[in-house]
Amino acid sequence: MSNFLGDVGRQIQKKALDQDKGSDEQIAKLERRSKAQLASLEDHFRIVVLQVMSELTNNGWKPVVFWGVRTPEQQEKLHDKGVGAKKSLHVHETQKIVHRAGWSYVQTGEAADIVDARYLWTGPAEDLNFRFWVELGEAAERRGLEWGGRWTNRDVAHVQCAHYEPIIKSKKGKRDDTPYQAVPNRTVVA
Ligand SMILES: [Zn+2]
């Protein structure tokens, strides 16, 4: 008897989850959000993000951009809630100092958070090794983007296009003269 009730309970729970998370309405809402977030990105980055999304769509996923550009205020608010780094490439003004192989660089660039509209970060997507995250990382890295899923503090939805300007010459290591690409003005979606 209790097994039967358990099954009914699970069915109701599953139905509620399907209705809320995977509903056409929810997906349509997220697709509208995705369009606005995509519009906030610079052309060169948006083109690559769209290629990544199209590959995922072909694999049967429903990718949407949940976050593109953020204002410093949005970033601060999210960081206070424990989401995202204090300094993030989602914010135009961000200039981060990063260290690699005896060198220090000023990092600038852009970022996007891509999720499947049916799950976002819930259900099967709570597993950081969920197939969607793995395929997102592969599709992004194949196109030269950095994937947050490789970070110590794994951020599996996050992809970024970063530019590095070397600032300190090391005794060891070879100088990396990758030209610094200035990032032109972009628009912000509130
Ligand atoms: Zn992100």
Answer whether residue 98 is part of any domain: no
Ligand 1 centroid–CA 70 distance in Å is 10
Average pLDDT of the segment spanning 125-150: 97
Domain region containing 45: 2-93+108-160
Answer whether residue 187 is part of any domain: no
Q: Full-prediction pTM beyond 0.85?
A: no
Answer whether residue 179 is part of any domain: no
Ligand 1 centroid–CA 111 distance in Å is 6
Q: pLDDT for 148-173, tens place per residue?
A: 999 999 999 999 999 998 885 555 65
Residue 24 has pLDDT above 70, yes or no: yes
Ligand 1 centroid–CA 189 distance in Å is 15
Give the count of domains, the chain. 1
Domain of residue 35, CATH code: 3.30.1380.10
Ligand 1 centroid–CA 79 distance in Å is 11
Ligand 1 centroid–CA 123 distance in Å is 20
Answer whether residue 57 is part of any domain: yes
Q: pLDDT for 38-90, tens place per residue?
A: 999 999 999 999 999 999 999 999 999 999 999 999 999 999 998 888 899 99
Residue 104's pLDDT is: 86
Answer whether residue 54 is part of any domain: yes
Ligand 1 centroid–CA 159 distance in Å is 7
* Tokens encoding 46: 């948006």
Answer whether residue 189 is part of any domain: no
Ligand 1 centroid–CA 2 distance in Å is 43
Residue 188 has pLDDT above 60, yes or no: no
Residue 172's pLDDT is: 61
The rounded mean pLDDT for the chain is 84
What is the band of 102 on the pLDDT scale with cuts at 50, 70, 90?
confident
Ligand 1 centroid–CA 127 distance in Å is 17
Ligand 1 centroid–CA 112 distance in Å is 5
Answer whether residue 168 is part of any domain: no
Answer whether residue 24 is part of any domain: yes
Give the separation between CA 63 and CA 34, rounded to whole angstroms. Answer: 9
Give the separation between CA 121 and CA 49, rounded to whole angstroms. Answer: 19
Ligand 1 centroid–CA 3 distance in Å is 42
